[in-house]
Amino acid sequence: MIATFDTGAIGTRGRTMFEPLLSERVLAEGMLASNVRSLWRRLARCADVRDVGRQLASDPTRIRALCGFVRSLLTADYDVRYRHPHDIAIAAALVLLEQSPLAEARALMHALKRESRPSLHWVRVMAEYCDSRFVDERHYGGQWPASAEDDLAPPTHVVYRSSGEARLSNGSIIARAG
C-alpha cells in the first residue's frame, strides 16, 4: 500500500511517473546485488530507473515530487520483521537524486543516512554511498572528478554551474538560466 503524497506542481502525474521504480524488474535487479556498489550499478543500468531519470531530467519540481514519493513509501505500513517492501525502489530513487543539489534532495539523503531500522539497511547504505558520490560544484569549481564509474553516470548526473547553466556529465547543456 502506497500512501498518498504531495506531488506539488506536477500533481497526480507524479505517481505514474515514479511507479516504474516499484516494478518487478527494479526489484529483481536490486535483489541480485551483493553490495552497495553493485546495487547502485544495477539500478543505474535498469531500464525502468533510466526511464524515470529521463523524465525527471533536472526539473526541480519533479525532483521535489520524487522526494515526496520516497517519503510516502517510507511512511507506508509494513511488517518490520522483513525488509521494507519498497527498499529497492527507494534505493533506486536515491540513485536518481544522487547529484541533485536541491535542498530537499540533500536533506532526504542526509536523513536516510541516519536511518537505523534494520528493515531499511539497503536504503541507509545507498544514501551513504550516493551522498559520498555527490559532487558539489562549489567544492570542485565545476571540474568533475575522474571516477571509475563515470561510464555509468545516472540519468540525472547533472553539473550545475553558478551561471545557472546545467550540463549532463557528458557535457551536453540541458538548461540555461532564465
The residues binding another protein (CB under 8 A) are 24-25, 27-28, 30-38, 41, 78-79, 81-83, 85, 118-119, 121-122, 148
Nearest 5°: the CA angle 13, 15, 18 is 105
Instruction: Answer yes or no: are the C-beta atoms of 89 and 110 closer than 8 Å.
Output: no
Of 41 and 133, the one with the shorter C-beta distance to another protein is 41
For 175, the enclosing helix (H) or strand (E) is: strand 173-175
Of 56 and 91, the one with the shorter C-beta distance to another protein is 91
Of 69 and 122, the one with the shorter C-beta distance to another protein is 122
Residue 36 is placed in which grid cell?
552497495
Of 125 and 159, the one with the shorter C-beta distance to another protein is 125
Least Å from the CB of residue 85 to another protein: 5
Least Å from the CB of residue 174 to another protein: 29
**Residue that has been written with the C-alpha cell 538548461 in this structure:** 175
3-state helix, strand, coil in the chain (%, to 5): 55, 5, 40
